[in-house]
C-alpha cells in the first residue's frame, strides 16, 4: 500500500494536540483527535485484507497474525516508553525508594500488554496506552467479521455498527472522552465501543477512497484543499473552546475528522501531491514516541511546579518529553539492530554449516 505523506503530517499534528491537551494548555477537547488514529487503523485493516485477497486465500489464523503484527509494530517503543514512565512515576512523582519501586515492576505487564479496556487494574506508566488496548481488542473483534468479504462488511455491517455505536455513546455519555467510562454494569468499556465505532468508520473510509477515481482539475483540487483547511480550522477552533468540549459536538467533530481524512487519503488536495519522504516518515515516527512519553512528565510538572504557570514551564516540559522520546527511540533502534545482527549471524552460520 502506497504511503501517504499527508497522513504522516496529520498524525504528527494530532499527536501534538494530544500532548497540549494533557498539559492543559487550552486544548479542552483535544482528546477528540484520537478518533483519527482509530479511523486510520480501520482504513489500513481493510486495505490489508483486500491486498491479501488479491494474493490468494487468507490463512485461517489471519486475524491473529494481523493483531500480532499491529502489536509488534508498537512493542519496543511501548516497552521502553513504559520503563521511562515507570521511573518518572516512581522516583520523581511518588519519590519511592528503590526497594518499593522494585516490587511494583510487575505492574508494567499491564502496560506492555495493554489490557486496560478489558477491566484489568494496574499502574499505567505511560498514562495513554488505553488507546493501544482499545485499538488491539477492537481490531481482534472486527477482523474476523471483515476478513471473509471486506467490501461487503465495509458497505453493510460497518456503517450500521458505526452509527448504532455512536448513537449509543451519544445517548449514554453525550461525548467521546470515555477512556475510564463503563456501560452495562461495568461489562463494556466505553473506550472500546468508541474504538469499534471509529475503526468501522475507517473501513467505510477505505471504500470511499478506493472507488473509481476520476481526474481532478486544478480548480477542484484547490476547492478540496480549502475545504480541508476549513475543516481543520473548525476542528481546532472547537477543541480550544472550553464550553464545547465533552458535549454532543464531539460526534460532529468525529464526522469532520472523517471528512478531513477522506480528502487527505483520496489525493484530492494539493497537500496530497506531496509524496511520502524522509521528513514525513520522521514526523510519523516522532508522533508515536511523544504520544507514549509525555503523560508522566505532564503529571510531574503539574505537581512539582504547581506555583508556576504552564506557559513558564512549557519549554522544560517539551525538553523533557523530547529527551524521553529520544531515549525510547534510540533503545528501540538499538534493539532492532541487535535482533537483525543475531539473525544475520545465524543465517551466515547455517550457510557455512551447509557448505
- Nearest one of 226, 230, 218, 229 to 273, comparing CA atoms: 218
- Find out whether 255 and 235 touch, Cβ atoms under 8 Å: no
Res. 93 pLDDT band, cuts 50 70 90: very high
Closest by alpha carbon to 239, among 19, 12, 21?
21
- Stated as kind and residue range, the H or E segment containing 188 is strand 188-189
Kindly tell me if the per-residue pLDDT of 324 is higher than 60.
Answer: yes
- Give tens-digit pLDDT for 144-188: 999 989 999 999 999 999 999 999 999 999 999 988 889 888 888
pLDDT of residue 54: 65
- Going by their DSSP bridges, the two strands 188-189 and 182-183 should be labelled as antiparallel
pTM score of the predicted model: 0.92
- pLDDT for 268 equals 86
Measured CA to CA, the distance from residue 348 to residue 341 in angstroms comes to: 10
Residue pLDDT, tens place only, 68-82: 989 999 999 999 999
**3-state secondary structure at position 183:** strand
pLDDT at residue number 329? 96
Is residue 233 predicted with pLDDT exceeding 80? yes
- Per-residue pLDDT tens for 333-355? 999 999 999 988 888 887 777 76
Q: What angle do CA 202, 291, 67 make, to 5 degrees?
A: 45
Question: Which cell is 74 given?
Answer: 508498537
Give the Cα-Cα-Cα angle 251, 255, 259 (nearest 5 degrees): 165
What pLDDT score does 76 carry? 95
**285 exposed, middle or buried (CB, 10 Å; 0-12, 13-18, 19+)?**
middle
% residues pLDDT > 90 (the chain):
60
Residue whose C-alpha is closest to residue 322's, from 283, 294, 284: 294
Is the pLDDT at 282 greater than 70? The verdict is yes
Confidence band of 326 (pLDDT split at 50, 70, 90): very high
User: For residues 285 and 258, is the Cβ–Cβ distance under 8 A?
Assistant: no
| In the chain, domain spans | 5-350
- Residue 212 pLDDT: 61
Overall average pLDDT of the 135-150 stretch: 94
Of 169, 142, 176, nearest to 157 (Cα)?
Answer: 142
- 45-67, pLDDT tens digit by residue? 999 898 877 655 555 458 888 89
Amino acid at each position: 500500500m502506497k504511503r501517504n505523506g499527508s497522513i504522516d503530517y496529520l498524525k504528527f499534528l494530532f499527536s501534538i494536540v494530544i500532548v497540549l491537551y494533557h498539559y492543559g494548555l487550552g486544548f479542552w477537547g483535544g482528546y477528540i483527535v484520537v478518533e483519527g488514529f482509530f479511523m486510520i487503523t480501520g482504513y489500513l485493516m481493510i486495505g490489508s485484507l483486500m491486498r491479501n485477497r488479491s494474493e490468494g486465500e487468507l490463512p485461517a489464523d489471519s486475524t491473529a497474525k494481523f493483531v500480532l503484527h499491529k502489536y509488534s509494530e508498537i512493542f519496543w517503543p511501548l516497552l521502553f516508553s513504559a520503563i521511562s514512565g515507570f521511573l518518572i512515576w516512581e522516583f520523581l512523582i511518588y519519590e519511592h525508594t528503590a526497594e518499593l519501586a522494585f516490587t511494583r515492576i510487575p505492574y508494567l505487564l499491564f502496560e506492555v500488554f495493554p489490557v486496560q479496556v478489558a477491566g484489568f487494574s494496574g499502574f499505567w506508566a505511560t498514562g495513554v496506552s488505553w488507546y493501544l488496548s482499545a485499538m488491539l481488542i477492537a481490531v481482534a473483534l472486527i477482523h474476523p467479521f471483515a476478513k471473509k468479504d471486506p467490501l461487503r462488511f465495509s458497505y453493510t455491517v460497518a456503517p450500521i455498527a458505526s452509527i448504532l455505536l455512536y448513537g449509543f455513546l451519544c445517548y449514554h455519555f453525550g461525548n467521546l472522552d470515555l477512556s475510564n467510562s463503563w456501560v452495562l454494569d461495568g461489562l463494556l468499556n466505553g473506550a472500546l465501543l468508541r474504538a469499534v465505532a471509529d475503526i468501522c468508520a475507517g473501513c467505510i473510509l477505505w471504500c470511499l477512497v478506493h472507488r473509481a477515481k476520476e481526474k481532478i482539475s486544478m480548480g477542484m483540487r484547490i476547492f478540496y484543499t480549502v475545504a480541508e483547511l476549513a475543516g481543520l480550522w473548525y476542528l481546532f477552533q472547537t477543541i480550544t473552546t472550553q464550553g464545547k468540549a465533552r458535549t454532543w459536538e464531539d460526534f460532529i467533530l468525529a464526522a469532520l475528522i472523517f471528512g478531513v481524512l477522506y480528502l487527505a487519503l483520496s489525493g484530492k488536495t494539493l497537500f496530497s501531491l506531496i509524496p511520502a519522504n524522509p521528513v514525513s516518515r520522521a514526523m510519523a515516527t516522532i508522533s508515536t514516541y511523544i504520544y507514549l512519553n509525555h503523560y508522566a512528565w505532564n503529571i510531574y510538572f503539574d505537581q512539582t511546579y504547581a506555583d508556576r504557570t504552564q506557559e513558564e514551564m512549557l519549554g522544560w516540559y517539551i525538553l523533557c518529553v523530547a529527551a524521553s522520546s529520544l531515549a525510547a527511540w534510540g533503545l528501540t533502534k538499538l534493539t532492532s539492530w541487535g535482533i537483525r545482527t543475531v539473525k544475520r549471524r545465524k543465517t551466515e552460520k547455517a550457510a557455512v554449516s551447509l557448505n
